[in-house]
Amino acid sequence: MPSSSRRRHGRGRGRGRRSGSKKRNWADLPLDAISAVLRKLDHVEILMGAGQACRSWRRAARDDPSLWRRIDMCGHADLFNQVDLHGMAQAAVRRAKGQCEAFWGEYAGDDAFLLFLGEQAPSLKSLRLISCYDVSNEGFAEAIKKLPLLEELELSLSKNVFGQEVFETVGKSCPHLKRFRLSEHRFYSFEDVDYNKNGEALGIATMTELRSLQIFGNNLTNEGLTAILDNCCHLESLDIRHCFNVEMDNTLRAKCAGIKTLRLPNDSTDDYEFIVSNPAWANDSQTQSEDDFDGDMGYDDYYDLDTELGSDDDIYDPSNYIDGIDEDDEEARMILKGLWALMK
């Protein structure tokens, strides 16, 4: 009942004052404490949440380059048709102030971003691109030339980067590359005589310092695998699951004898990170088409910041809760766009 509640509150007030308790002002936390909290979060959460809480938290998230040295924007695929993940990726790299050593992005990268990354992160050592359908051969090849210190590269489910030439560019531009991953949802069988099944394998064969290689669902044959094994002499781990054009004969097995971890075409995929679909064999009308897994989920359909709100809708405007936003600050406007989309 209301009266009973008020009486209990009155008795509690005296005890609260005697114990010295008071409402905590999170904005008054020291900078090192705020930074410790931010380091427990991933970078999308910082950009869209904690890093926008108030002026002191924004300053901590914006002005500490070490917070952005290793940027992880994976695990937020559900946001890519709501917010501009490409723009967020640029904001994250910009905050690193040239110190970024790793960028991992899922749906968070296009050609323009990669060029920006190459210019802003010359010391980058790890690049993982997952489901980055807006990255093309041309944009990727131009950007990778700016990353000579790269040691780890992943291109998973990013189907618009392919072919011998682009991977030869990687081999020439990244002499320190130790780990490479090229993964797909499924294996596709091609009977076209003009299709070079070993093109990508021959490109990978130029990455001569590789220690770890995963090629999942690729069309390479024994010829392509032989080229890789003959040129990448330091391999310690090789994963060619669902590369069904490879037939492991005695010659190939002998070449693989010194590899510590070997996964073959028919080995289990239970520990594979992505969804695995049944192989698509040539002239198999029962096999699901490639378009069913092209990743087109409307990622160009972003919410519009220019939406007019009525007086009753003001509660949904994040600017009411964020002090000090500069209307000319493009980064702030982009982040505000993400907050708006989530709150609507």
Residue of 228, 268, 226 lying closest to 248 (CA atoms): 226
Query: For 115-170, where are the E strands, in sequence order?
Result: 126-130, 152-156
| C-beta atoms surrounding 58 within 10 Å | 19
Looking at the predicted structure, is the pLDDT value of residue 280 above 70? yes
Residue of 1, 11, 58 lying closest to 35 (CA atoms): 58
> Which domains are present in the chain?
70-286+333-342 (3.80.10.10)
Which residues are within 8 A (CB) of 334 and not within 5 positions of it... i.e. 6 or more apart?
84, 87, 88, 91
Average pLDDT over residues 143-164: 97
More confident residue, 55 or 118: 118
Distance CA 327, CA 324 (A): 9
The pLDDT score that the predictor gives to residue 82 is: 84
**pTM of the predicted protein model:** 0.75
Average pLDDT over residues 14-38: 60
Distance CA 147, CA 118 (A): 6
Q: Quick one: what percent of the chain has pLDDT higher than 90?
A: 54
Distance CA 52, CA 57 (A): 7
pLDDT, averaged across the chain: 80
Average pLDDT over residues 30-56: 70
pLDDT band at 24 (very low <50, low <70, confident <90, very high): low
How far from chain centre, in Å, is Cα 326? Answer: 29
The pLDDT score that the predictor gives to residue 243 is: 97
Distance CA 58, CA 52 (A): 5
The answer to whether residues 96 and 69 touch, using CB atoms and an 8 Å cutoff, is: yes
Strand partners, 193: none
Looking at the predicted structure, is the pLDDT value of residue 90 above 90? yes
pLDDT band at 272 (very low <50, low <70, confident <90, very high): very high
Average pLDDT over residues 234-254: 97
